[in-house]
Amino acid sequence: MSRLIPDWLLYIVVIAAVVFVLFRVDRRADAPEALPGETQAGAFLPPPSNVDPQVLVEVGPVASGMGSAFAITADGWWLTARHVVDGCQKVGLIVSRGAAAPVRDVKRALFADLALLRTDIAPAALAIDTSERHFQIGQRAYHVGFPQGRGGEAYSRLIGRETLVASGRYDVQEPVLAWAELGRTSRMRGSLAGMSGGPALAANGQVIGVTVAESVRRGRIYTAAPSSILRLLRVEQVKAEGAPAPRMAPDNYGQEADDLRRSLAVAQVVCVAPDDIPKT
Provide the 10 A C-beta neighbour count for residue 111: 13
Residue 190: inside a domain: yes
Question: Where does 10-81 show beta strands of DSSP type E?
Answer: 54-59, 65-71, 77-80
Residue 2: inside a domain: no
The two beta strands, 207-215 and 140-145, are unpaired
Q: Is 184 in contact with 154 (CB distance < 8 Å)? A: yes
Q: What is the CA radius of gyration of the chain?
A: 17
Residue 1: inside a domain: no
Residue 172: inside a domain: yes
Q: How many domains does the structure of the chain reveal?
A: 1
CA distance 252 to 133: 27
pLDDT in tens, the chain (280 residues): 444 555 545 444 443 443 343 333 443 333 334 334 444 558 999 999 999 999 998 888 888 889 999 999 999 999 999 999 999 999 999 988 777 889 999 999 999 999 999 999 899 999 999 888 899 999 999 999 999 999 999 999 999 999 999 999 899 999 999 999 999 986 778 889 999 999 999 999 999 999 999 998 889 999 999 999 999 999 999 999 999 999 999 999 999 999 999 999 999 999 998 876 665 5
Query: What amino acid occupies position 121?
Result: I
Selection from 193, 184, 186, 190 nearest residue 217 by Cα:
190
**Who contacts 51 (Cβ-Cβ below 8 Å, separation ≥6)?**
none
Q: What is the domain-level CATH number for residue 116?
A: 2.40.10.120
Q: Is 47 in contact with 226 (CB distance < 8 Å)? A: no
DSSP annotation of 12 reads H
CA distance 96 to 271: 16
Predicted TM-score (pTM) of the model is: 0.86
Which residues constitute the domain of residue 145?
A: 7-33+40-276
Selection from 66, 37, 55, 57 nearest residue 193 by Cα:
66
Residue 66: inside a domain: yes
pLDDT given at position 280: 56
- Helix (H) or strand (E) run with residue 160 in it: strand 152-168
Q: Is 216 in contact with 22 (CB distance < 8 Å)? A: no
